[in-house]
Chain A
Amino acid sequence: MNADQEEEVETLYGLHRGELRRLLNARLGDPVEAEDLLQELWLRARQRPVGPVGNGRAYLFRMAQNLVVDRLRERQRRMARERRWSDQETDFAQAGMEPTDRSGTAEDQIIAREEVAALASAIANLPEGARRAFELHKIRGLSHAEVAAQLGISKSGVEKHMAVAMKYLRRALLG
């Protein structure tokens, strides 16, 4: 990043710092955590080449949103790991047996496989129309318009299917 770009990011950040704090506060509901993420956002924004940014404010806001989701995902994985451990300790551990491999990567792979299986199962159980629309759009990467054309329905029909699918998957995956 050259000096001009760095200055641009600094200006942009300085300009929107207050709003970004407000956004992070609203997303996290915790001022301390919000301040922590604001720091991280600043560090990342400085490292990342900005490139041609049409709307600097939206760019920073999206970055903040992504940081929040990363943090939520990390928390979710940590809970899955803890759940696995307590399952093994309370139900399955037997004296004199080899302890299960608890190295981070093996564990994360198992958790990822479980997530994939849960996701595939939840998608398979969607109502037929929502399932097809969801699979074409989210899994196969077709746009809403392409999905509409393929299924012979309207674009708003696709949107309705997607909303049904997201709400169903949310319940299936997160309880």
Chain B
Amino acid sequence: MTAQSNLDERVLDEALAWQAALERDDADWDGYMAWLEADPRHRQAFDSIALTTAMVEEHKDAVGSLFDVQGEQAIPRPHRRMKWALGVGIVAVLALAIGLPLRQQEPAPSVYAADAGKSRAVALANGANILLSPASRIVVHGKDAARIELASGEAFFAVRHDPSRMLTIEAGPYRIIDIGTRFSVNLSGGTFRVGVSEGAVAVASDKAEGEVRLQAGQQLTGGANGDLTLAPVAVADVGSWRAGRLSYSDAPLALVVADISRYSGKRVIIDPSLETRHFSGTLVIGDGSRLLPDLATVMGVAVHSQAGGAVRLGGADR
């Protein structure tokens, strides 16, 4: 009954065509049955399309309200870049009016920060589109934004690959170079993660020789001790926070907990007994308040309130 991913395109197109045809009052049910009987793969294809349709139908209201809430979180649209261009225009006019030397020196770095509870789209003049996850910050340096520093949190980048352009993204001791095209970078809790959903990137580190190349469907994780781990990741999980969920594949618990702190606005401490643990799984962000209890449930550990409003994950009550 389950769908096979290798069902070929033609059979799927036929299934889609039959699905549409059967909506009609004068649908050819005999033709449909003959098609089903001709090859068992036809049944599988139709099942998988029907199942997908049923899931969409069942959840469309929930997905619709999720998109409503996200609003600004949606992938950057072209009109935002126009706004940015307009912003540059105004800055330039002001600069001329008060006689600032515009060309003589490298422009001062610009800081872009997303507030807690809200992500923020940033479209840079060099064509890089960036979505900052809540409570995250980047600093853009240099002419043409050649150097982007992820100061804290997570950001999703959509950057056309252009070998003639120098663009480096820095995150702590790590540098992402030779960039294209869609990837998510996380720097929190002393850990680093980059996942690529499209194209490829290369990563260098102050702590190690050489570069690591990542293709779409790969992630590189750097632990607090500087160990680097290259591993496969589902493309749909890269930057999945944009769609309201946090996905981890063998992530250091420090990274998971730092994310949860950003989304919940609560300081979370990891009990020393869990410090070396890793986590794989998906958490639904919602308003952020369920993330920690959900993580604790999945890991089978407890959550304790601490003095000063912090919470501790794991360990005994004390």
Contacts and interface: CB of A to CB of B under 8 A. Distances in A.
Interface of A: 19, 22-23, 26-27, 29, 54-55, 57-58, 61-62, 65, 68-69, 72-73, 75-76, 88, 92-94, 97, 100-101, 112-125, 128, 135, 138-141, 159, 163, 166-167, 169-175
Given A26-B37, A114-B282, A166-B52, A175 B5 contact: yes
A84 B93 CA distance: 59
Given A26-B36, A120-B244, A173 B52 contact: yes
24 contacts: A72-B51, A73-B51, A73-B54, A88-B300, A92-B298, A92-B299, A94-B300, A100-B300, A116-B62, A116-B66, A117-B240, A120-B63, A121-B242, A122-B236, A123-B63, A125-B197, A128-B75, A139-B60, A140-B64, A169-B52, A170-B12, A170-B48, A171-B5, A173-B55
Interface residues of B, number: 57
Contact of A172 (B236, B242, B284): B236
Interface stretch (B25-33, B97-105, B203-211): B25-33
B60 to A, nearest CB: 5
Please report whether the interface of chain A is mostly helix, strand, loop or mixed according to DSSP: helix
Contacts of B20: 159
Contact of A72 (B50, B59, B63, B64): B50
A115 B244 CA distance: 12
Interface string B1-14: 11101000100110
Given A92-B299, A115-B59, 6 more contacts: A26-B37, A27-B46, A58-B27, A97-B300, A112-B62, A120-B66
Contact of B33 (A23, A88, A113, A140): A23
B67 interface: yes
A22 B33 contact: yes
B243 interface: yes
B300 A93 contact: yes
A29 B42 CA distance: 11
Interface in B285-318: 297-302
Nearest to B46: A27
A97 B301 contact: yes
B55 A166 contact: no
B49 interface: yes
A117 B62 CA distance: 9
Contacts of A27: 36, 43, 46-47
B54 A69 contact: yes
A9 to B, nearest CB: 19
Max chain A CB contacts within 10 Å: which of B5, B55, B57? Answer: B55
Given A29-B43, A112-B59, A174-B48, A117 B245 contact: yes
